[in-house]
A and B are shown apart, each in its own frame.
Chain A
Amino acid sequence: MSEFKLAVQRFDPLTDAKPRLAEYTVPMREGMTVLDALLYARDYLDHSIALRFSCRQASCGSCGMKINGRPRLACYTQVEELGGEKVVAQPLDNFAIVKDLVTDLESFFTKHKQLMPYVLRSDAQELDHPTAEYLMKPEELKKVLQFTYCIKCGLCTSACPTVAMDVKFPGPQAMAQAYRYLMDERDEGGEKRLEALDTAHGVWRCHFAGSCSFVCPKGVDPALGIQLLRRHVLSGKAPRKQGEGAKVWSAPAGSTK
């Protein structure tokens, strides 16, 4: 195929009552990503297409959009892998549309913050007057490592069937991060985290459809984290920490101040 059709959903809530698909013809080149195609269309065919992107290498999570019906990163999806003669780009489902392909991720970040995506500690003295860094053994890091690769692109939350209906549901991204911090050897927020998840719109509204993990571009596998969370929420008891994470370790000589 030397050229292909690129359909872009155009919608400006200020002036349009409903979205429409605008079609552009884009010349194909080897290795072309959907983001490349969109930028070609914007540069040469229609300057008014609104889209958000930044790093072009699946690191920043800005260009999440629905491509041929499924949430994907535009920079990480090659036109060729989509197979057909036509590429359809639409904004991510379940997020408010700002314009065209740009969605408002405010609710997404709010829910992420509500589940406390940071290490909770009780040693106030150490926090105020640190004597060393909080370190983590490599084998302990491994237990949560995959969840730390989350780039907050919103694809998983957009794909989640519960999110499509339940506005109070935290969504897969936030809950996978809740698991990540629950299991963190340095974290002491255990019961508090579990309580936040044990509500009528918490972790139990996941039914393991697995779409979040299916669309995740970074291999985070939020569904895995959520399934592993349940046992802890059910018992109400935080996992017993194997290591000595509750203590501040004396760092190896020369590695800290």
Chain B
Amino acid sequence: MSLVGEERAKNKRGIWGWLNPYHYNLERWAYTFQRVTGVAVLLYLLGHLGDTSFFVGGPTGTGPSSSSWSFIGSIFENSFGHLILVLVVLVLTFHGVNGIRLILSEFGLIMKKPSGIEYPYRPKSLGSVQKSLVWVAIAAAVVAALWTYLVLFEGMG
């Protein structure tokens, strides 16, 4: 039997259901950001592998070369490059601090013990500890990004 609406009847949400936290809890938003920031940092990392290799003259270099290094500096050491760095520190710090929350949770260290339940049901795993740690991750990311901004744009440090 072939169904006219066979594809739609499968009703799998796919990528959208995977990444869209709308209508859900704060931890779900943190989950989406953890994924996105993880991929973003990996992409930056690969770029960073490339740009740091110019310290030794790039892919075909043979040793430390100050002309090659100042060439790569002339491309990235400007307002645009520094803005990228500020963003990288922002997402990296969120990923790291939120990652601490996840490790603590996944090893059960900040989980309450199961017990009987009483109405109104409040999931013990999504308590105030989780919420506050997500906000700590967000705050840490903003502070780190601000610091980076001051270092790169205001010459602090």
Which positions in A face B, CB cutoff 8 Å? 11-19, 68-70, 91-97, 103, 142-147, 149, 159, 161-162, 164-165, 167, 207-211, 213-214, 216-221, 223-225, 227-228, 230-231
Instruction: Verify B3–A213 contact, CB threshold 8 A.
Output: no
How many whole Å from A234's CB to the nearest CB in chain B? 8
How many whole Å from B2's CB to the nearest CB in chain A? 10
Instruction: Verify A209–B23 contact, CB threshold 8 A.
Output: no
Q: Determine the residue in chain A with the shortest Cβ distance to B5.
A: A13
B contacts with A, residue count (CB < 8 A) = 49
Residues from chain B with a CB closer than 8 A to the CB of A217 are: 121
Instruction: Verify B27–A209 contact, CB threshold 8 A.
Output: yes
Give chain A's interface secondary structure class.
loop
Known: A13-B3, A13-B6, A210-B130. A94 touches B114 (CB 8 A): no
Instruction: Verify B5–A12 contact, CB threshold 8 A.
Output: yes
Instruction: Verify A210–B108 contact, CB threshold 8 A.
Output: no
How many whole Å from B21's CB to the nearest CB in chain A? 8
Residues from chain B with a CB closer than 8 A to the CB of A94 are: 11-13, 17
9 additional contacts (CB under 8 A) given A13-B4, A146-B117, A214-B126: A11-B9, A12-B5, A94-B17, A208-B125, A210-B126, A210-B130, A218-B121, A221-B126, A228-B108
Instruction: Verify A219–B22 contact, CB threshold 8 A.
Output: no
How many whole Å from A3's CB to the nearest CB in chain B? 25
How many whole Å from B97's CB to the nearest CB in chain A? 15
How many whole Å from A17's CB to the nearest CB in chain B? 5
Instruction: Verify B11–A97 contact, CB threshold 8 A.
Output: yes
Instruction: Verify B4–A17 contact, CB threshold 8 A.
Output: yes
Known: A161-B31, A214-B28. A15 touches B4 (CB 8 A): yes
Q: Once bound together, how far apart are the Cα atoms of A142 and B24, in whole Å?
A: 29
Instruction: Verify B8–A13 contact, CB threshold 8 A.
Output: yes
Q: Once bound together, how far apart are the Cα atoms of A209 and B130, in whole Å?
A: 11
Q: Once bound together, how far apart are the Cα atoms of A15 and B4, in whole Å?
A: 6
Instruction: Verify B14–A165 contact, CB threshold 8 A.
Output: yes
Central interface residue in B30, B34, B113, B117, by most chain A CB within 10 Å: B117
Q: Determine the residue in chain A with the shortest Cβ distance to B130.
A: A210
Instruction: Verify A146–B28 contact, CB threshold 8 A.
Output: no
Residue B111 is within 8 A (CB to CB) of chain A in the complex: yes
